């Protein structure tokens, strides 16, 4: 994952275990050390870093200091990673085969840069100067 804006750039690898009632996003350094673990449950988000643990009702409030900007809505991000347009997109553009090519959602523009089989391989997610690039190299639908 690459997160950048006009002020800073943050590159990391990540693992996202997503389940209906609990999701865990782990951010890793290039050497494989855990930088942060974000756990999302029904009414609370918990961020654990080497500096300690914080809880908020809004996960975006915890992620913003790490990314340098407010992240896209996590419910939409979950859908995009799975190759779906997400809840209430403003506009959808598909390629000639019917796959998502671009989605507009609440000021965010999601470009499905490449696909591998039926799953997105690379996504670019932008709003203004804020940009996330996700390279999805492993997918396990069982987790």
Give the burial class of 24: count Cβ atoms within 10 A of its Cβ; 0-12 exposed, 13-18 middle, 19 or more buried.
middle
| CATH class of segment(s) 1-68 | mainly beta
In CATH, the architecture of 72-137 is: Clam (2.50)
Give the burial class of 60: count Cβ atoms within 10 A of its Cβ; 0-12 exposed, 13-18 middle, 19 or more buried.
middle
On the question of a common fold for 1-68 and 72-137, the answer reads yes
pLDDT tens-digit readout, 22-80:
889 898 888 889 999 999 998 899 999 999 999 999 888 898 888 888 888 888 888 99
Angstrom CA distances, 118 to 53, 92, 133, stand at: 37, 18, 19
pLDDT tens-digit readout, 100-127:
999 999 999 999 999 998 899 999 999 9
Domain limits, the chain? 1-68, 72-137
Q: Report which of residues 138 and 2 the model is more confident about.
A: 2
pTM for the whole structure: 0.84
């Amino acid at each position: 994952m690459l997160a950048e804006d006009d002020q800073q750039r943050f590159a990391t690898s990540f693992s996202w275990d997503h389940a209906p009632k609990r999701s865990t996003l782990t951010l890793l350094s290039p050497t494989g050390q855990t930088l942060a673990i974000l756990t999302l449950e029904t009414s609370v988000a918990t961020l654990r870093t080497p500096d300690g643990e914080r809880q908020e009702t809004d996960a975006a409030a915890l992620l913003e200091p790490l990314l340098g900007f407010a992240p896209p809505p996590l419910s939409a991000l979950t859908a995009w990673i799975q190759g779906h347009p997400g809840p209430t997109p403003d506009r959808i553009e598909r390629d000639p085969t019917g796959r998502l090519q671009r989605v507009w959602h609440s000021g965010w523009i999601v470009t499905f840069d490449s696909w591998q089989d039926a799953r997105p391989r690379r996504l670019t997610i932008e709003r203004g100067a804020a940009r996330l690039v996700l390279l999805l190299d492993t997918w396990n639908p069982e987790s």
